[in-house]
Every structure is written in C-alpha cells, then in structure tokens.
Structure 1
Amino acid sequence: MAERERPRLDVPRAPRRPLLPTYDPEVFGQFSERIARFIGTGRFLLWMTVVIIVWVAWNILAPAGWKFDEYPFIFLTLALSLQASYAAPLILLAQNRQDDRDRVNLEQDRKRNERSIADTEYLTREIAALRMGLGEVATRDWIRSELAELAKELERGEPEPAGAVESDQDR
C-alpha cells in the first residue's frame, strides 16, 4: 500500500475549486437593473400582450396537430409564472442597489449641508465682528461733526476742557 504523502507546512495548499459558480456581483447587479428597467416599460407590456394574444389565438384557431397548448393553457401559465419568479427577485435586487445609491447620496448631501451650515455660521461671526469693529471706527460724518463743534467752541472762545494737553505752540 502506498503511503500518503504528508503535506508540508511551509507550502500553501492549492486552492480548492468552489462548489458554486463564482460571479461578479457588480456585473450581475447591472444586469438585473437593465432587466428591471426593461420590465418596467410600456414596450415590455406591449410585447408581452402581443405574445399572449398570439399564443392564445394560435392555440385556439390552429389546426389540431399544430396546437402546442390546449385550452386551460397550462404551458402559458407555466411560462408566465417562470417569468414572474425571475422578474421579482431581479426587480428587488435593482431596488436594493438603488436604495444603496440613494443612501450614499443622502449621506453626501447631509455632509455638504453640515459644511454649508458651518461656513454660514463662520461668515456670520466674521460679519458680526466686522460690524462691531466698524462701530468703533470714526466715520467721515462723525469727524466733520466733531470738527464743526470744535470750530464753534473756538469762535465762542470757550475754555479748553480740564486735562487737555498743551501743544508745543502754547508753551
């Protein structure tokens, strides 16, 4: 009897073949979205109606040897059930993918709104600071009114207020 060769621990095992076929979920999702988009159109409903009318008309009006589905139309019912059993999960998959995209867009919109609010609050604080700073700045009209009052005081000869600083000319 041949002895089984012991696997070496320093050599990785060969990858096993998966039991189920592998697929790319993104490609399958795009495929399901295309099918769901087509099933949701008037063109699909029109073609489905034409196929059913032709099917029923053929199986009622055709000669006995050419008919492939007799009156209760069991085969037609089977075909429509099969179509519905595949369409429903594909439509749900497409809706789930759309929900994921909507969720990502909503999160991006929320972050963008938060940034906009923060920027607006910052600008509001800056404008308030500028207004407060401008409130302390002497304006041209205020300086003119002060100079006009000083000129009137000089004309009347009123004494300078106490604690006024003497200029070099007064000394």
Structure 2
Amino acid sequence: MRFAEDLRAVRALARAHGPATLFDLSLVYLALFRLGSGLYRRHRIFAPVRLFEKLLELVFGIHLPFTADIGGGLVIFHYHGIIINGGARLGRSCRLHARICIGNRFPGDGAPVLGDGVTVGTGAAILGPVEIPAGTRIPANAVVTPRSLAAFIPARNGGDHGPDQGERRHRAHGGL
C-alpha cells in the first residue's frame, strides 16, 4: 500500500512539473525498496533480503535499510548519496533531496524521527535522537542535532525564525 502512495505523490509531481518526473530512477528504487521491505517485514528472511538491500545500495547509491519505517508518499529527488539509519522513522509524504544523511551521531545514539510532510534539502544532515515536526522544511546543507533543532522549527505563535536567527541564539548561549 505504501508504494501506491509513493506512486500517487510522483504522479502529482508529474502533473505539476511535467511527465519527465515519471522517468526518474528514484521511482524504480522506491518500488524495489518497498518490495524488499515487505519481504523483510512479512517473512523475516534475513540473508537473501540483506543481499538485495546491499545490491540496491550499490546500484542506486542510497543506504536505506529495510528496517527503517518509511511512510507512504515518499518522494526522492536526485536519488544519489542518500543515507538513512535503519532505526529512523519518516512520516507520510516526506521529500528527500540528494546527498542527505538521516542517522545517528555515534554508535548507540538514537535515530531521527521525521513527521509527515517533512522536506529535507540537498546536503542536509539530521543527526541523533531528534523529532522533526510535521511540515518542517530543513534547508540545504543544514545540520540538525538535538542541540540545534529549535533553529529549524517555526515558532508556535505563528511567527517564523530561520536558521540564521537560531544560529545567533546558539552562539550567544554557548553554541554548538
């Protein structure tokens, strides 16, 4: 079912940006990922599925273990260089751009949790046990850790503060 949501999301992009979107190899990757993930979750076949996972990583340049909990409607733009921790959770309708890392800071550290509709810009890194609220947009080349998370989340009172304001606040209070 999650692949059907992925396909609907890509079709919506194709309607908005042209049919060339349908020929992006990230859609092929998502189909194969959903197949492998389903086999792993239903049958717990470790060795052949793990080999398939590594083959996908080699061919597509995406490290996304089948143990990761990835919601439906995922869209991957420019699929190369993506690393996602096997313990990470991504909500529905997330958008991932190239060369991102969603993982832990060191062995044994927690993995990130992304809410629904989160967009992660090119080159961004989300590291450690952080929860990114639904609808958040992580800008390109941002580094989000538990200590820097507030800089990337819009204020609750309807205002918005960008990474530059959060960066100044962190520097004033001891920084990262």
- TM-score normalised by the chain length of structure 2: 0.20
Q: Higher relative contact order at CA 8 Å, sep ≥6: structure 1 or structure 2?
A: 1
- TM-score normalised by the chain length of structure 1: 0.21
Choose between structure 1 and 2: higher helix proportion: 1
